[in-house]
Amino acid sequence: RAKSEGRGTVAHYSAEMDQDLQQRRRIEAELRLAIRRKQLRLNFQPLVKTESGAVVGYEALLRWRHPELGEVPPSTFIPIAEESNAILSIGEWVLRQACRTAVSWPDGCSVAVNVSAIQFARANFADKVFDILRETGLEPERLEIEVTETVLLQDEAQSRAILNQLKAGGVRIVIDDFGTGYSSLSNLRTFQFDKIKIDRSFIATMETDRHARAIVRSVADLGRNINVPVLAEGVETAAQGEMIRADGCTHAQGYYYGRPVEDIAAAAHTSGSVISLAERRSA
């Protein structure tokens, strides 16, 4: 396209690329200061059981509000943080903050934390997690670590060793965004996950795309057969909620059940205790 539009367009593109690069460099530099300047915070989104609607935990989602850049979405700054290794200190902050917050939640309510490949590539990652659990007083059974399959591709032997260390210590491991990227069924055999999260792209299209729906149902069946709970991500409507329940997804997450919030006690889905969706509806 650029070619047919002539020289002027090419120049325009490179100016734009230059701006992009400058913006990336700015984000990279500002990110390093974000923790100290207290610009980072966590939001928590409810994870529910499809049968009862009960909230069984929350996923911690990182938020960054910069005074000039405004609210920068994680899809923009996480990849930059990963390239610059800033993800190491940021990831540690996220883990500590998530565990610290979850200690005051009702018994049995778990917290799920996303972990990047770069964090996972560190040989001492599991020790770091256990240190933070001890320091914050959170029971390991209440922590879920969410990884994507790219994490495991880094170094399969080391990934397996770290996963086993974490699991031996009581921490649960969740495979995130399943069905996208480098998803492979052999990963389900090599690594013993405690939960499978079906990527939201399948849920978003399952009402009109019968292939998407068949995939959701097949992953739910697979989970049942290997005894692993399956969560549907990104459920936005009652119709989708009904479909994923009927298809056998044991857990769900999405705007339909609750958006990410800063303070779960102040949010509608709980008032200091875990209450079910049914109770909430009748309230």
Residue ranges binding ligand C2E (CB under 6 A):
45, 61-62, 73-75, 78, 91, 94, 114-116, 146, 176-177, 200, 234-236, 253-255, 260
Contacts of 225 (CB under 8 A, 6+ apart): none
132 phi/psi in degrees, rounded to 5: -65, -35
State how far Cα 260 lies from the chain centre.
11
**Is 269:56 a contact under the CB 8 Å cutoff?**
no
Nearer to ligand C2E, 75 or 208 (CB): 75
- Give me the least distance between CB of 232 and ligand C2E, in Å please: 10
The residues that touch Mg ion, with contacts defined as CB under 5 A, are: 114, 146, 176-177, 233
Nearer to Mg ion, 180 or 276 (CB): 180
Nearer to ligand C2E, 95 or 274 (CB): 95
Binding partner of residue 61 among Mg ion, ligand C2E, none, CB cut-off 5 to 8 Å per kind: ligand C2E
- Give me the least distance between CB of 45 and ligand C2E, in Å please: 6
CA 143 to each of CA 31, 170, 171: distance values in angstroms, whole numbers, following the listed order: 26, 8, 6
Contacts of 163 (CB under 8 A, 6+ apart): 173, 191, 192
Binding partner of residue 62 among Mg ion, ligand C2E, none, CB cut-off 5 to 8 Å per kind: ligand C2E
Binding partner of residue 260 among ligand C2E, Mg ion, none, CB cut-off 5 to 8 Å per kind: ligand C2E
* Angle made by CA atoms 185, 189, 193, in degrees to the nearest 5: 95
- Give me the least distance between CB of 198 and ligand C2E, in Å please: 11
Distance separating alpha carbons of residues 266 and 54, to the nearest angstrom: 17
